[in-house]
Amino acid sequence: MHEIELKFQVPAAQRAAVDRAVAGRTVPGRMLQPRVRLQAAYFDTAQRALAQARLALRVRREGRRWVQTLKGATADGMARLEHNVMLGPKPGAAAELPQADPALHAGTLAGDRLFAALGLGADGADGGIQHGIQHGAHGDPPAGETLAVLYRTDILRRTRVQRSPFGRVELAFDSGSITAGDATLAMCELEIELLAGSPLAVLDVARRWLPRFGLWLDTRSKSERGDMLARGEAVAPPRVAEAVSLTREMSSSEALRCVLGSCADQIIGNASQIASGEHTDEHTDEHVHQLRIGLRRLRTALQLFDRCADAAQSRSPSPTAADLTLEMAAATLFRRLGAARDQVVIEAGFGADLQAALLAAGVSGDVPRASASGAEEVPAAVLRELASQSLLLDLLTETQAVEPASVRSAALAAEPDLRGQLAARLNRWHRRAAADAKRYRKLDDAGRHRLRKHVKRLRYALEFSAALFPRRAVRRYLRALRAAQERLGAINDVVVAMEAFKRSRDTDPRAWFALGWLAARREVLMAQALPDLKKFAGAKRFWKGG
C-alpha cells in the first residue's frame, strides 16, 4: 500500500485560523467534532538501521486502540510505502505500550525492506538482531542489537475530507510535540493525504490552501525530525543529487519525468530544511548550495527534453508554456539565492590567501566584506514566499503527470530512439562548448562565464543520460568535463569577488588592494586552465547522432 500526501508547516500567526478552516462550517448549536489524540513511539536500533534505510516503524495509540505502522520512503516525493497492523483487542486507556514486532509486516514491500535493514529472513525470523519482542514460533532471539523506542510523538489531530476535480483528500491539522529523552520539539503542520483519485488532487487542494494561510512545503516526516532530535542534530544533511537510470524503452515524456523526479528530490529536500528556519547561517550554506545545484539540473533537464518530442514530429523546437514557467521560476529563485552563496564562496574560496596578502603588504584589518549587488535576502524567507512554493508544487505536478498507455504507445512509435534524441542534443552542446574552450584566451569575462554555464549544462545532461551509453566511455568523458568545470569555477569565483569589491572600492581602501590581488590571481588561474580546456575540447564523443 502507498500513502500519498504532502505536509505543510503552518505559521504561528495562522494556526488558529487553519484549525478553524479544517473544522469547516458547522450547524448552529452543534459542537465541533473533538480532536483525536495520537500518541506514538518510534522504534529503531542504536545504530539507526531503519532511519538509514529511510524506514519508520511505530506503534501508535489511536483513541482506545493500538496500531503498528511501517513506512518507507520512495523515489516519488509524494508517495511512501505504508503497512498497518492492528495490535490485539482494544485495551484500556492505561494500557502499556505494546512492543513492535517486525514479523507482522512479512509479505509486504515495506516489510522486505525492513527485514533487509535488520538482517532478518524473508519471514521476519531473527538473523542476529534482538527486538525485545515475543517471537512465538521463532523461539528466543539470540543476543544482539535491540530495537528500542528512540523518540515519541504526542499529537492532537483534527481532520476533514475535501473534494477536488481529481479526487478526495483528507486534511489533517496536527499540533503537538516530538520527544527524545530530555529534548522536545514543538510541531504544527497540515497534512493533505489522498483518499481516492489522482495524486493531482493533493496538489490541487494544496494550491488553494497555501496562499490562503502562508503555508510552506516540508517533506520531512515526523520520523525524520524525531530521528534528528534523538541524535541531537539541528538539521538534516544536505540532499545531494541521486543517479538517474533511463532506459531506451522510455518515451521522451517518461524519461523527462524520471529526471524531474531526481531534481525534485534534491530541490524540495533542501528547500524544506532551509524554509524551516531551524538552523544557523553556517548550517544552511551547503543546503543553499545543493538547492542551487538542483535548480541548475532542473533547467538543464527542461532544455534537454522539451524539444525532443517536437523534433520527432518535425515541428519547430519550442518549449511548452509549463516548461517556460518552470524554467523562469527556477532561474529567478536561483538568482535570489545567489547573493548569500557568493559571500560564502569568497570567504571560503580564497579569504585566507587574501588575508595573508593584506598582512604581507602591511595592510591591517580583516578581509573586507564583499558588497552585495542589492539587499541581501534571507534564504528561509525567500523559500517561504508564494512564488517559491508555487515552483515546488509545479515541479511535483510535472512528476505526477502520467500519460495513458495508448498515448505512450503512439509516442514510442512516432519518436526516434531516446538515446538518439539525447545524443543529438549532447552533440550540439559539446560543439558549442568546445568551440569556446579552444579560444578561451580571447573571451571576455562574460564569454568565460557563458562557457562555464555551457560546460555545467553538458555535465548535468550527460549524467542524466549516462545509463543509455557505455559506462567506461561516459567516465572518461566526464573526467575531462569535470576537470574543465573545476577550472572554470575557480576563475568564476574570482570574477564574482571582483564585481563585489568594485562596489565597495570608494568606501574601503582595502577593496582596491583586493581588486589588484584578484586580477593577478585570475591571470594565473586562466593559464592553469588552458591544458584542461584543451583536453576537454578534444575529448572523444562516444555518442552517435547530431
Report the CATH number at residue 464: 1.40.20.10
CB 449 within 8 A of CB 486: no
Rounded CA-CA distance 533/481 in Å is 9
Does residue 546 sit in the same domain as residue 470? yes
Q: What are the residues whose beta carbons fall under 8 Å from the beta carbon of 331, sequence distance 6 or more? A: 295, 299
In a domain, residue 354? The reply is no
pLDDT for the residue 504: 78
What is the Cβ-side half-sphere exposure of residue 493, based on CA atoms within 13 angstroms? 18
Residues 260 and 283 in one domain: yes
Rounded CA gap, 475 and 466, in Å? 9
Looking at residue 73, which CATH number applies to its domain? Answer: 2.40.320.10
**Domain presence at residue 360:** no
Within its chain, how far is the Cα of 447 from the centroid? 31
Closest CA relative to residue 59, chosen from 49, 70, 74, 72 = 70
Residue 342 covered by a domain: no
Number of domains in the chain: 3
Do 491 and 506 belong together in one domain?
yes
Q: Answer whether residue 494 is part of any domain.
A: yes
Pair 265, 318 in one domain? yes
For the chain, 546 residues long, the average pLDDT of each consecutive 10-residue run is: 92 95 71 83 95 95 90 89 83 71 94 92 54 38 67 96 96 97 95 96 97 95 94 89 92 93 95 86 80 96 72 46 81 86 69 80 66 70 96 94 55 70 94 95 91 96 95 94 94 86 80 88 94 95 69
Adjacent-strand bridge partners of 189: 9, 174
The whole-number pLDDT of residue 9 equals: 97
Residue 63, burial from CB neighbour count under 10 angstroms (0-12, 13-18, 19+): exposed
pLDDT at 499: 85
Residue 353 lies in a domain: no
Q: Which residues on adjacent β-strands are paired with residue 5?
A: 193
Dihedral sign (CA 207, 212, 214, 219): negative
Classify the C-alpha dihedral 500-501-502-508 as positive or negative. positive
Quick one: the chain helix, strand, coil %, rounded to 5? 55, 15, 30
Please check whether residues 495 and 396 belong to one and the same domain: no
Domain boundary among 415, 442, 462: 415
What residues have CB less than 8 Å from 122, skipping those under 6 apart? 106, 112, 115
Residue 372 falls within a domain, yes or no?
no
Tell me, yes or no, whether 362 lies in a domain.
no
CA atoms within 13 A on the CB side of 354: 28
Question: Is 171 in the same domain as 275?
Answer: no
What is the maximum span of the chain, computed from C-alpha positions, in angstroms?
Answer: 81
Question: What residues contact residue 187 under an 8 Å CB cut-off, 6+ apart?
Answer: 155, 174, 175, 176, 177, 178, 222, 225
Same domain, 394 and 423: no
Same domain, 406 and 507: no
Angle between helices 509-537 and 338-360 (to 10 degrees): 110
For the record, the C-alpha cell of 435 comes out as 568551440
User: Do residues 154 and 81 share a domain?
Assistant: yes
CA distances (Å), 279 to each of 175, 184, 241, 430, in order? 21, 16, 22, 40
User: Do residues 326 and 444 both lie within one domain?
Assistant: no
Query: Rounded CA gap, 504 and 371, in Å?
Result: 6
Domain termination site, one of 395, 415, 435: 415
Neighbours of 311 (CB within 10 A): 16
- Print the domain residue range for 304: 252-337+377-415
Q: Which of 231, 264, 290 is the last residue of a domain?
A: 231
352 falls within a domain: no
Q: Is 288 exposed, middle or buried (0-12, 13-18, 19+ CB in 10 A)?
A: buried
User: Does 422 lie in the same domain as 296?
Assistant: no
Residues 123 and 272 in one domain: no
